[in-house]
């Protein structure tokens, strides 16, 4: 017969011999001590007891009577859980709620801890696993045993197939040592790839960024932020100007986040949408408006941004037709879907951005003057990175922190040589280029301190610097001038296309017409944009 057990808390004035007295009393009444804990605080001693009568059943009253009258006893009460059980429960709850799988083994390779995620990955239940040798589990990595010999490993990519599905994870493990340095076990931590991917997306594409995420301390940036904060809650159109990669989209997201608007932030790259699709993307269409259209019709981006913000990026790259329609939509706050009979009211806050000289485009007739005046109500200029070199350190640290978090690696820092190299670069690709350089350095460099040799600029991929200390090198060192010029032209066109999102955008950057650039692409027999990354 399994007798009932009781848990009690006894409070004593502290003295020598409490545990011995309790043990004697319980032994006299044939009661077994299942566990006993003593906590001392100031002059008092809290004794926690779990006991079970051995020979016969005992009532709660008889248990209290057995222990009453002990010297120095202040109070006695029944409890539901022992402090050690509470600690264990807390420990398991914490372990089960971390997003990493955790398994630990003792010095003999037997499992001592395994949390919820690790159990799911291994498709086993808790009781099945504790005390079993790790190398007996088919799905488990016996590499952990090598840590008992003092080895450790980091971020090894593994995948496991179980009834619960396919799990891909990064795993790291290290030995556990006692205070004398003797190895008493090992622990393995598995990071779920899905979690890592979700984190990467959150970190690199923050949906709701505030101005706190916009790094910069130079007066021009501080001024731009304080101006933007003031106008964020108003419905006015904002026009963000600045070279490619200066952070225009990030800035627009911050304005949206601080606008108090509850709708979505809808970014549209006007240069990336093919001309034929621009109007249907922006204004939507009714059912059966054209061949290939969805039967139910579709809301355009203006409608989708209702209650939120429509970010018209590269607005200067819009062809004349959509320019006129956008002007109308902005003025009237209404759109008509293609094939639609009625107009739909839209309440989208408009933020535009461009890296081109709008005034010059208006002069040359490539951008409508009326649209220019309509969007140029609140212009904000973001300075190029080479005009705010004081911000390079803070930006580099910020990107380094992001990439280290993404990779789950130790936090790195820049050596003074590396920082100096960054400060002396001309930054034609602005902050985007700095972000790429830092990510490359963090991946290349195995140590915590990033040296100058890990700072590599991708000159081949960057568009030719508009100014600065670099000049385009001749394509080869000899040969007739026309051939050299041809080779140089090819390289410039390839570079411009590689960094642009469309032929129209590349043409704009090179200051030539769309048709001229198309002819040059034909002349040099270049492949479509998507395959250009392989062209040298």
Residues that bind ligand ATP (CB under 6 A): 214-216, 242, 244-250, 313, 355, 395, 398, 431-432, 435
| C-beta of residue 308 within 8 angstroms of C-beta of residue 257 | no
Nearer to ligand ATP, 185 or 242 (CB): 242
Strand 309-313 with 265-269, pairing: parallel
Q: Which residue is nearest to ligand ATP (CB)?
A: 247
CB nearer to ligand ATP: give 329 or 431: 431
How far apart (Å, rounded) are the C-alpha atoms in residues 286 and 491? 45
Nearer to ligand ATP, 37 or 207 (CB): 207
Beta carbon of residue 382, minimum distance to ligand ATP (angstroms, whole number): 7
In the complex, minimum distance from the CB of residue 237 to ligand ATP, in angstroms, rounded to a whole number: 17
**Minimum distance from residue 436 beta carbon to ligand ATP (Å):** 9
Q: What angle do CA 506, 508, 511 make, to 5 degrees?
A: 110
Within 10 angstroms of residue 477's Cβ, the number of other Cβ atoms is: 7
Alpha helices in 68-180 (DSSP H): 83-97, 116-122, 126-129
By beta-carbon proximity to ligand ATP, the closer residue of 171 and 246 is 246
Compute the least distance from the CB of residue 271 to ligand ATP, in Å. Answer: 9
Provide, rounded to whole angstroms, the least separation between the CB of residue 501 and ligand ATP: 8
**Can you tell me the distance from the alpha carbon of 22 to that of 78, in angstroms, rounded to the nearest whole number?**
16
Closer by beta carbon to ligand ATP, 398 or else 504? 398
Cβ 243 to ligand ATP shortest distance, Å: 7
Comparing CB distances to ligand ATP, the nearer of 98 and 222 is: 222
Nearer to ligand ATP, 256 or 435 (CB): 435
Contact indicator for 19, 27 with CB cutoff of 8 Å: no
Q: CB nearer to ligand ATP: give 98 or 411.
A: 411
Cβ-contact 300, 283 below 8 angstroms: yes
Residues 405 and 411: their CA atoms lie apart, in Å, by: 8
What contacts 24+ positions apart, CB below 8 Å, involve 163-169?
Answer: 163/123, 164/120, 164/121, 164/123, 167/121, 167/192, 168/192, 168/193, 168/194, 169/101, 169/121, 169/193
Q: Which helix (DSSP H) or strand (DSSP E) does residue 341 occupy?
A: none
Nearer to ligand ATP by C-beta: 175 or 216?
Answer: 216
How far apart, in whole angstroms, are the C-alpha atoms of residue 198 and residue 186?
A: 29
User: Is 251 or 372 the residue whose CB approaches ligand ATP more closely?
Assistant: 251
DSSP of 213-251: GS---SHHHHHHHHHHHHHTTS---EEEE--TTSSHHHH
CB of 350 to ligand ATP, least distance (A): 16
Which residues share a beta bridge with 378?
238
CB of 433 vs ligand ATP, minimal distance in Å? 9
The distance of closest approach from Cβ of residue 396 to ligand ATP in the complex, given in angstroms and rounded to an integer, is 11
Rounded Cα gap, residues 194 and 22, in angstroms: 55
487, 475 in Cβ contact below 8 A? Answer: yes
| DSSP category for residue 451 | P
CB closer to ligand ATP, 245 vs 284: 245
Rounded to whole angstroms, the Cα distance separating 126 from 201 reads: 33
* Nearest distance, CB of residue 405 and ligand ATP, angstroms: 14
CB of 315 to ligand ATP, least distance (A): 11
Residue 56 CA: distances (Å) to CA of 1, 3, 52, 398, 420 = 10, 8, 10, 69, 83
């Amino acid at each position: 017969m399994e007798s009932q057990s009781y848990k009690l808390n006894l409070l004593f004035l502290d003295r020598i011999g409490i545990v011995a007295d309790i043990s004697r009393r319980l032994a006299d009444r044939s009661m077994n001590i299942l566990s006993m804990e003593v906590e001392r605080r100031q002059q008092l001693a809290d004794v926690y007891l779990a006991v079970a009568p051995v020979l016969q059943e005992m009532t709660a009253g008889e248990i209290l009577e057995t222990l009453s009258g002990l010297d120095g006893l202040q109070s006695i009460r029944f409890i539901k859980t022992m402090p050690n059980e509470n600690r264990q429960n807390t420990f398991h709850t914490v372990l089960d709620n971390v997003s990493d799988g955790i398994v630990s083994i003792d010095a003999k390779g037997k499992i001592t801890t395994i949390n919820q995620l690790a159990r799911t990955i291994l498709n086993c239940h808790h009781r099945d696993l504790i005390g079993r040798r790790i190398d007996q589990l088919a799905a488990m990595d016996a590499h952990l045993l090598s840590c008992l010999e003092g080895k450790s490993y980091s971020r090894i990519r593994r995948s496991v197939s179980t009834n619960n599905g396919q799990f891909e994870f990064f795993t790291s493990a290290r030995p556990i040592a006692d205070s004398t340095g003797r190895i008493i076990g090992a622990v393995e931590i598995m990071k779920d790839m899905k979690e890592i991917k979700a984190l990467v997306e959150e970190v690199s594409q923050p949906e709701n960024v505030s101005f706190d995420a916009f790094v910069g301390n130079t007066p021009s940036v501080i001024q731009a932020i304080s101006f933007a904060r003031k106008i964020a809650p108003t419905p006015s159109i904002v026009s963000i100007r600045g070279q490619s990669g200066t952070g225009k989209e990030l800035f627009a997201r911050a304005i949206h986040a601080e606008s108090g608007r509850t709708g979505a932030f809808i970014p549209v790259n006007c240069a990336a949408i093919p001309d034929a699709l621009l109007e249907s993307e922006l204004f939507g269409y009714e059912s059966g408006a054209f061949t290939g259209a969805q039967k139910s019709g579709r809301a355009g981006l203006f409608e989708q941004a209702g209650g939120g913000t429509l970010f018209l990026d590269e607005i200067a790259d819009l062809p004349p037709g959509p320019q006129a329609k956008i002007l109308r939509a902005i003025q009237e706050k209404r759109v008509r879907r293609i094939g639609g009979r009625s107009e739909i009211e839209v309440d989208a806050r408009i933020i535009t951005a461009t890296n081109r000289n709008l005034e010059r485009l208006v002069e040359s007739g490539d951008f409508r003057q009326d649209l220019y005046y309509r969007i140029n109500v609140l212009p904000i200029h973001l300075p190029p990175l080479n005009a705010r070199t004081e911000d390079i350190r803070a930006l580099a640290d910020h990107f380094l922190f992001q990439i280290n978090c993404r990779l789950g690696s130790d936090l790195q820092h820049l050596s003074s040589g590396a920082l100096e190299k960054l400060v002396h670069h001309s930054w034609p690709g602005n902050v985007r280029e700095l972000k790429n350089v830092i990510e490359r350095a963090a991946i290349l460099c195995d140590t915590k301190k990033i040296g100058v040799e890990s700072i590599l600029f991708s000159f081949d991929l960057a568009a030719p610097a508009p100014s600065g200390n670099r000049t385009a090198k001749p394509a080869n060192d000899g040969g007739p001038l026309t051939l050299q010029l041809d080779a140089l032209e090819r390289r410039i066109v390839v570079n411009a296309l590689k960094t642009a999102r469309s032929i129209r955008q590349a043409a704009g950057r090179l200051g030539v017409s769309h048709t001229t650039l198309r002819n040059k692409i034909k002349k040099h027999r270049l492949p479509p944009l998507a395959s250009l990354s392989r062209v040298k």
